[in-house]
Amino acid sequence: MGRKLLTENINVPGIQSLDVYRHHGGYEGLKKALGMSPDAIVEEVKKSGLRGRGGAGFPTGMKWSFLAKPDGVPRHLVCNADESEPGTFKDRYMMEHIPHLLIEGMAIGSFALGANTSYIYIRGELLYVYHILQKAIDEAYAAGLLGKNIMGSGFDFDLHLHSGAGAYICGEETALIESLEGNRGNPRIKPPFPAIQGLWQRPTVVNNVESIMAVVPILKMGGDEYAKIGIGKSTGTKLISACGHINKPGVYEIELGLPVEEFIYSDEYCGGIRNGKALKAVVAGGSSVPVLPKELILKLANGEPRLMSYESLSDGGFVTGTMLGSGGFIVMDEDTSVVKNLYTFTRFYHHESCGQCSPCREGTGWMEKILHKILDGHGTLEDVDLLWDIQSKIEGKTICPLGEAAAWPVASAIRHFRSEFEEYVKNPSSIKKDNHYYRVNNISSEVA
């Protein structure tokens, strides 16, 4: 059994409430933090090796240390709770079941950054979670854990909850800031980075829900102890949203470094492929990362087991590797159509593009149309080559990473499963179209 730092008390009856949360050690991390200097807290987070759990994996303590501190200028910590990546639902789960862990993390982080006013920006569709969080915030204010002179420390701290309007693009930190300011959620050109000019042009740190929650156990146990968990530069535990064709979908907290094969097949985690089917492919980190066939998701190119870590999953680059990303682990069995799955992803990215950059605005729509043409039985081999060409002209040519998020799944699907695309083109009569479910018969994956 791996260590559980965030989900240890997740199933305790009433853990949503302040009284039960405090009975199980809640806000002890904040109490300890308020007795430390802000710089000492940042140093503990640095020593922990915690990396951003929202997708990019940038060292959290380093990000905090970049925050500008001009005299007389307010600073802000913003929590990115706009979890909209297809296949990712861990943050929603945590906010729903143990909301005070996020509030405590926000208070610790804000004290460390010298931010007296901070914000949680939550996905607009999660209205029921919004109400759970707001109730917890109200409890914390009533108990003196938020507001003036929290816990008698002399530190004043206000926390505000803001609901988005359902735009995936607002998961990008500068688009989130624009939306929080009341503007259209378009990403900003960087530099300047939010740490210099963020919310209302003030120094701002944006972290996701899991990153902020992880600060609580780090403060309790110390950065050095936290760094002993995991493997290499992938320290600590990680929440994984596991879904797809597995026997036990759900949110799992793993110690980083767990073999991918063990995560998929052990009873402690996913419990294997449902209905006794064979594994075909996995999207390891949410819809925006490259899909890998069975041969590559379970083993590295040198034959060693692939691990659930930032380094191991990215080993080989995008030719034979992928990314841990947001931890949205989507498992596909042998009957899955990679082409249909890709069409679903591409349609999503076309719909969610803000339209600010022409490669993304035009390219995502173009890719969707071509995939629809192929799935409808009217595609050509030239269309497959055109898809490859379009994705290459989107990647690296947009203001924000949504361009890459749309391009990488297309590139990896063609790279590893080109034979499936060609079968749709050469033998469209073999495609089953029952209830819009597309499947190619007797096609094995091709690994480039």
**Tokens, residue 339:** 């082409």
Helix axes 358-375, 338-352, angle to 10 degrees: 150
Residues 432 and 335: their CA atoms lie apart, in Å, by 11
Residue range(s) of every CATH 3.40.50.11540 domain in the chain = 18-228
Let me know: does 75 contact 117? Beta carbons within 8 Å. Answer: no
Chain-centroid distance of CA 141 in Å reads 29
pLDDT computed for residue 429 by the predictor? 74
Whether 446 has a pLDDT exceeding 50, the answer reads: no
Strands of 279-283's sheet in order across: 250-255, 237-244, 328-333, 279-283, 291-293
Let me know: does 431 contact 377? Beta carbons within 8 Å. Answer: yes
Residue range(s) of every CATH 1.20.1440.230 domain in the chain = 338-440
pLDDT tens for each residue of 79-90: 999 999 999 999
Whether 437 has a pLDDT exceeding 80, the answer reads: no
The pLDDT confidence band at residue 427, using thresholds 50, 70 and 90, is confident
Q: What is the pTM of this model?
A: 0.93
Sequence-distant (6+) residues with CB within 8 A of 374 are: 339, 383, 384, 421, 424, 425
Sequence-distant (6+) residues with CB within 8 A of 322 are: 283, 284, 285, 289, 290, 291, 292, 297, 313, 314, 412
- Averaged over 27-51, what is the pLDDT? 97
373: exposed, middle or buried (C-beta count within 10 Å: 0-12, 13-18, 19+)?
A: middle
**Tokens, residue 372:** 């629809």
Write the CATH number of the domain with boundaries 18-228: 3.40.50.11540
Residues 61 and 20: their CA atoms lie apart, in Å, by 30
pLDDT tens for each residue of 89-144: 999 999 999 999 999 999 999 999 999 999 999 999 999 999 999 999 999 999 99
Residue range(s) of every CATH 3.10.20.600 domain in the chain = 233-333
The pLDDT confidence band at residue 402, using thresholds 50, 70 and 90, is very high
pLDDT tens for each residue of 259-306: 999 999 999 999 999 999 999 999 999 999 999 999 999 999 899 999
Residue type at 76 in one-letter notation: H
Strands of 117-122's sheet in order across: 158-163, 117-122, 76-81, 204-208
pLDDT computed for residue 2 by the predictor? 81
Residue 76's DSSP bridge partners are 204
- Averaged over 321-330, what is the pLDDT? 95
- Averaged over 324-349, what is the pLDDT? 95
Let me know: does 420 contact 445? Beta carbons within 8 Å. Answer: yes
Q: Which of 185-189, 365-369, 424-428 has the lowest mean pLDDT?
A: 424-428
Whether 440 has a pLDDT exceeding 60, the answer reads: no
Whether 217 has a pLDDT exceeding 70, the answer reads: yes
- Averaged over 315-324, what is the pLDDT? 94
Let me know: does 235 contact 207? Beta carbons within 8 Å. Answer: no
pLDDT computed for residue 431 by the predictor? 66
Q: What percent of the chain has pLDDT over 90?
A: 93
Whether 401 has a pLDDT exceeding 70, the answer reads: yes
Residue type at 50 in one-letter notation: L
The pLDDT confidence band at residue 209, using thresholds 50, 70 and 90, is very high
Pick the CATH number of 233-333 from 3.90.400.10, 1.20.120.1230, 3.10.20.600, 3.40.50.450: 3.10.20.600
Class in CATH terms, 338-440: mainly alpha
Give the chain's mean pLDDT: 94
pLDDT tens for each residue of 196-205: 999 999 999 9
Whether 164 has a pLDDT exceeding 90, the answer reads: yes
Whether 332 has a pLDDT exceeding 90, the answer reads: yes
- Averaged over 58-76, what is the pLDDT? 95
The pLDDT confidence band at residue 1, using thresholds 50, 70 and 90, is low
